Amino acid sequence: MTVLAVAQRRAGTAFQRQGALAVLAVVVLIAFGAFPNFRSLDNAATILVAAVPPMLIALGMTFVIITGGIDLSVGSLYVLGGVLAAWASQYGLLAAIAVPLAVCGAIGLLNGVLIAYTGMAPFIVTLAALLGARGLMRAVSDEGSTTYIVQNDAFHALGTGSLLGIGNQVWLVAIIVLLGMVVLSRTRFGNAVYAVGGSEDAAALMGVAVRRTRIGVYVLSGLLAGLAGTINAAKLGSGVTVLGAGMELDAIAAVVIGGTLLTGGAGTIAGTVAGVLLLGVIQNLINQVGDLNSNWQQVISGAFLALVVVAQTYLVRLRRT
């Protein structure tokens, strides 16, 4: 192998691991120069707060995708979680948090059990869960006609308060993301997640509890999506029934941009964080350009996704040869 080939391989690996971070840095630098309004602390806070729900959802999605699966139900679970949190807030702070987490976790469990025990494709099981959770949300909200208002001040304060000038929810997400990193890279469960995605058969023969691992990641994904909805309800003060369509695909996009392989077996949470922030910064910049139609955001996100994934594919290929 030539020195050049080694260098190329290293560059490929580095891009796959840190590519999203590098692009994020470049975009932020350009934005600093080009948009005066981007530079304010307020704006940074806006970006971070907006990134809270997608960050949580993408975090769960990262675990799922590393096992080689996919979870399409998270958008519905996000909305369901918000509606349930607002509805349950009449019974106190604890209920407002516990009810959505319990329900969304249970749906995640159902996804996991069906996928692990019946061998049905994750794509189709979670697609059914997407429909089922949406149906449940509508059933809870009188076919979407009732918007529950958060009736617990402590719960509302959780979503609107701040600590050291940074919103509570941002702190919370930061802690959860750090926890996620530790779990994925430093625990036996984390190793099992990589093993199942790397080669399910080999993992089973090596004594990894494949089914339990699979179930675990879908429960985690369901819980995080429900939590994202709960936090959003606390922030908005109500359970909004119309958001969330397409959230699952945004989350997948962020995870993929962050360098996690959709085929499973490799990926990092740091990459996912960069992917989420990158999409958030782009949206923010589009909002800065006043006369630009906000629909451009979708167009740019889509183009960006294609670009990153194509680049990734070529670099991975480069590394293999």
Partner 1 sequence: MTTLALTTPHRADWLPKYGVYIAIAALVVYNAAFTPYFLTVSNLRIQLIQVAPIIIVALGMALVIGTEGIDLSVGAVMALAAALIPLYLGYGVIAAVIVSLLAGVAVGLINGALVAKVGLQPIVATLALFVGGRGLAVVISDGQLKDIRNADLIYLGSGDLLGIPVLVWTAALAILVVAFTVRRTVFGRRLLAIGGNRPAAELAGLPVQRVLITVYVLCAVLAAIAGLLSVGRIQSSDASSIGLLIELSAITAVVVGGTPLTGGRVRVLGTVAGAVLMQLVIATMIKNNLPPSTTEMVQAAIILVAVYAARERKTR
Partner 2 sequence: MTLLEVAGVSKVFPGVRALDDVSFALRPGEVHALVGENGAGKSTLIKVLTGVYRPDAGELRYQGEPVSFATPMDAQRAGISTIYQEVNLIPLMSVAQNLFLGREPRTTLGLVDRARMDREARDILAGYGVTTDVRARLGSLPLGAQQMVALARAVMIDAKVVVMDEPTSSLEPREVETLFGVIQDLHERGIGIIYVSHRMDELYRICDTVTILRDGKLVHTGRLADLERVRLVALMLGREVSDVRREGFTVFSGDHAAADDTPILRVSGLSSRNRLHDISFGVRPGEVVGLGGLLGAGRSETIKAIAGAYPVDSGEIEVDGTPLRHPTTVKAVAAGIAVQPEDRKAEGIIPGLSIRENIALSILPRMSTFGLVSDAKIDEIVDRFMKRLRIKASSPHQRVGDLSGGNQQKVLLARLLATGPKVLLLDEPTRGIDVGAKAEVQALIDELAAEGLGVVLVSSDAEELVEGSGRVVVLRDGAVVGVLTGEDVTTESLLATIAEAGA
The CA-based angle 48-182-220, given to 5 degrees, is 75
268 to 27, 185, 190, 293: CA distances (angstroms): 21, 9, 11, 33
**Residue 42 in the binding site for partner 2 (CB under 8 A):** no
Q: Give me the phi and psi of 145, to 5 degrees please.
A: -85, -20
Q: What interhelical angle do 41-66 and 188-198 show, nearest 10?
A: 60
Q: What sign does the dihedral 266-270-271-275 (CA atoms) show?
A: positive
* Among 207, 214, 177, 176, CA closest to 193: 214
Alpha-carbon dihedral 295, 299, 301, 303, rounded to 10 degrees: -170
| Interacting residue with partner 1 among 41, 118, 164, 165 (CB under 8 A) | 118
The residue type at 264: G
- Interacting partner of 139 out of partner 1, partner 2, none (Cβ under 5 to 8 A depending on kind): partner 1
Considering only residues 180 to 199 of the shown chain, the ones binding partner 2 according to CB under 8 A are 182, 186-188, 190-192, 194-195, 197-199
**Which segment (23-31, 109-117, 148-156, 200-208) binds partner 2 by CB under 8 A?**
200-208
Nearer Cβ to partner 2 (109/204): 204
Residue number, 14 or 205, with CB nearest to partner 2: 205
Count of C-beta atoms within a 10 Å radius of residue 256? 23
- Let me know: does 267 contact 65? Beta carbons within 8 Å: yes
Q: How far is CA 146 from CA 149, 207, 234, in A?
A: 9, 49, 17
Place of tokens 């996009």: 253
Near partner 1 by CB under 8 A: residue from 138, 174, 198, 270: 138
Binding of partner 2 by 64 (CB under 8 A): no
Is 247 an interacting residue with respect to partner 1 (CB under 8 A)?
no
Site for partner 2 in 255-284 (CB under 8 A): 265-266
118 counts as binding partner 2 under rule CB under 8 A: no
Amino acid at 252: I
To the nearest whole angstrom, how small is the minimum distance from the Cβ of residue 20 to partner 1?
Answer: 15
For 163, the enclosing helix (H) or strand (E) is strand 162-163
Beta strands in 34-119 (DSSP E): none
Give the one entry of partner 2, partner 1, none that residue 161 binds, where binding means its C-beta sits below a cut-off of 5 to 8 angstroms depending on kind: none
32 binds partner 1 (CB under 8 A): no
Partner in contact with 33, chosen from partner 2, partner 1, none, beta carbon below 5 to 8 Å by kind: none
Residue closer to partner 2 by CB (options 141, 260) is 260
Q: Give yes or no for residue 28 binding partner 1 (CB under 8 A).
A: no
Instruction: In angstroms, give the least distance from the CB of 137 to partner 1.
Output: 8
Other C-beta atoms lying within 10 Å of the C-beta of residue 42 = 9
- Our CB check for partner 1 shows the closer of 252 and 269 to be 252
Residues at the contact surface with partner 2, assessed by CB under 8 A: 1-2, 5, 182, 186-188, 190-192, 194-195, 197-199, 201-208, 265-266, 321
Residues at the contact surface with partner 1, assessed by CB under 8 A: 70, 114, 118-121, 123-125, 127-132, 134-139, 143, 245-246, 249-250, 252-253, 256, 262-263, 293, 295-303, 305-306, 309-310, 313-314, 317
